[in-house]
Amino acid sequence: MKPTGSIFVLSAPSGTGKSTLAKRLVAEMPGLIFSISCTTRAPRPGEVHGREYFFVDDATFDRMIAQGELLEWVKVYANRYGTGKAWLQEQLDQGVDVLLDIETVGAMNVKAALPEAVMIFLLPPSAQELARRLKGRGDTDEGQMVLRMAHARHEMEQYAHYDHLVVNDDLEGAYGRLKAIVEARRSERERMEATAQAILQSFEP
């Protein structure tokens, strides 16, 4: 019998390389998918309902909050984003592992609701390197840099709430460590119990 899926939560300060690593992890690890959030923002060109997001109106989002249908939600500027409990549970029941690429506030809400979630925090090698990476994007002026670095420090202060800490000093190395965390979770005895029992029974005369 296939075990139920696991939830992996990945957080990091902006500029740490989280999106790059998360996309590669999902692309290269069978049975691991991105969580699809609900959002009140309008679809962008090329986006499809149920693929990038579940697009809902404000009234629907309000109802989902009121009825406890969201595992976590956050407001970003004028729009809201949240993780639907029913969709997530459906994936887990099918044995699918789900990766939530979310900021620290949402991650803490997930941990409170689902203590079994595997919490991973991606760290930059240093503040200096993070600032260099952010400047390298070419879309951040000096004022924005100060704000982003302050926000990054605030997020870094939350690292103690996570189960695994991965430093992205080298993209390949960081990817390997993230992949190892997923594989270690999948090979835990409790998750492999049914498989082990089935193999054991094959030894019966």
What string of pLDDT tens digits covers the 205 residues of the chain?
Answer: 568 999 999 999 989 999 999 999 999 999 999 999 999 999 999 999 999 999 999 999 999 999 999 999 989 889 999 999 999 999 999 999 999 999 999 999 999 999 999 999 999 999 999 999 888 877 767 888 888 899 999 999 999 999 999 999 999 999 999 999 999 999 999 999 989 999 999 998 8
d(CA 150, CA 29): 34
Residue 171: which domain range?
A: 7-35+96-201
Amino acid letter at 200? L
* Burial zone of 184 (CB within 10 Å; 0-12 exposed, 13-18 middle, 19+ buried): exposed
User: 3-state class of 116 per DSSP?
Assistant: coil
Residue 46 covered by a domain: no
Q: Mention every residue, 6+ apart, whose C-beta is less than 8 A from residue 35.
A: 83, 88, 98, 99, 100, 101
Within-domain flag for 52:
no
- The domain total for the chain is 1
pLDDT of residue 94: 95
**88 is a domain residue:** no
Identity of the amino acid at 131: A
State the virtual CA torsion across 155, 122, 20, 145 in degrees, nearest 10. 40
Report how far apart, in Å, the C-alpha atoms of 173 and of each of 5, 37, 62, 169, 192 are.
25, 29, 42, 8, 27
| Residue 109, domain member (yes or no) | yes
Q: Which CATH number characterizes residue 182's domain?
A: 3.40.50.300
Residue 65 in any domain: the answer is: no
Residue 48 lies in a domain: no
